[in-house]
Amino acid sequence: MNQRSNIRTGFILFCTLFVAACSGQRVMMPTPNESVDKSPGIYDNLHEDLKTTEVPLFYVTDRVPERDDKGNLQYGYGRSPSLAFGSTVIDMGADMSWEELLDESRKNKRSKEVPMHRVSINEIVRAPNAPIPYTEVDGIIVEDPEFVARRQAAAQEFREAVVEWLDKTPRKEVFVFVHGFHNSFDDAAFTMAELWHFLGRYGVPIVYTWPAGHPGLFGYTYDRESSEFTVFHLRQLIELMAGFPEVEKINVIGHSRGTDVVVTALRELTIEVRAVGKDPKKALKLHNIVLAAPDLDAQVAGQRIIGDFLSWSADRFTIYASPEDSAIGWSRKLFDSPAGRVGNIEVDKMTPEIREQMEVGNSPLAVINFFPSSDNKITGKDGFGHSYFRNAPTVSSDLIIMLRDDADPGSPERPLEYIGAKFWQFPPGYPNPD
């Protein structure tokens, strides 16, 4: 058996183990270090409708709608040409009261687990299939008026729901989470619910969930192409929300394979906006772009993020990378990435070309290196070291402080250690080093 066959066999084994590791009852992520023993004051001014263990979320999806044995709506891994908008409710804590949930949310070691389950899904509106019919007249693309009207009606219904939510929060911004490989609808919703809870439940939480989760040994290849399929729809969503005058800022958090979806969609929008002489930061209202454990070839990412000026298209562009992320390590072997994958990147192991790209310019790019083995306070680490953005209280603390408090790396609120070429690392016990 040759080296390529060994790699593919190993990767198939990895996929099988990864799927098995994702099964079982989901419980709330470990308490971020920054939240331990802290006064729950961030929830004091929260709208009364949001002071509950039931977490309401919006979702946008191009998964095919299905029905379970009882006729209830659900979403599988099938690809839909139309984009749906809806709401879902995630319960955190089952029989807990709001006060009990807050108490457990402040503990380093909880007195009991906080189980999570989905209460409901409600599809509010569905846009027409895309792309819509069009014709070319004298060099101008003319879309079918009937389909345009249906698309505009769906967009208006979406806008009205978002505006109604914005009236309940002082933060006139949205937080969009884009999941990765083998995530179900519920997986993505659970992650958004717990992150938004620790953020203080400010702003509008939106789960963007694409057709991932194909079963079997080759689910990764299906999911990978689904991630390419969904770029068109994510691009439409970001452009649509940027056009809502009530929305002041847009924050996008991508994980794993979802980072490629985020980078590709935003790159295409950035090129389009710059081509007409506009500033993407203003036109697209991009505040934070976050890539957690990115499954991206380092050289491809360099072209897209640096070469196409994507890192200048937001107020803050943050990458979380861990050299000990074995899932990304297998991805590197499978695709023979000559300069490595972004999710494993280290400042001392970059090629000279990539390092030069990183060091030039004044972009708001920051790469945060996470070393699980160097911090004895890390808990809740998954078996592959791939979900550390929510499992490691050090990393989740940094993500929350950045998004909630609008803090830059190296500031008093985010005392990260600078190690050169826009790279930072966590001191032990972050954000309160020993």
Q: Beginning with the edge strand found earlier in the chain, give each strand of the sheet holding 286-292 in spatial order.
A: 116-126, 73-92, 54-67, 204-209, 173-178, 249-255, 286-292, 316-321, 365-369, 423-425, 417-420
Of 375, 377, 296, which is closest to residue 335 (Cα–Cα)?
296
Average pLDDT over residues 166-175: 96
Joined together, the tokens standing for residue 103 give: 């108490």
Alpha-carbon span 47 to 39, nearest angstrom: 18
- The whole-chain average pLDDT of the chain stands at 90
Average pLDDT over residues 289-296: 96
Dump pLDDT digits (tens) for 225-248.
999 999 999 999 999 999 999 999
Q: What is the pLDDT of residue 250?
A: 98
Dump pLDDT digits (tens) for 82-124.
999 999 999 998 889 999 999 999 999 999 999 999 999 999 9
Percentage of the chain with pLDDT > 70?
A: 91
Average pLDDT over residues 201-225: 92
Concatenated DSSP letters of 40-53 = GGGGTT--GGG-SS
Joined together, the tokens standing for residue 111 give: 């007195």
pLDDT over threshold 90, residue 352 = no
Q: What is the pLDDT of residue 28?
A: 96
Average pLDDT over residues 55-79: 96
pLDDT over threshold 60, residue 375 = no
Q: What is the pLDDT of residue 374?
A: 54
User: Up-side HSE of residue 231: CA atoms within 13 Å toward CB?
Assistant: 17
Q: What is the pLDDT of residue 5?
A: 54
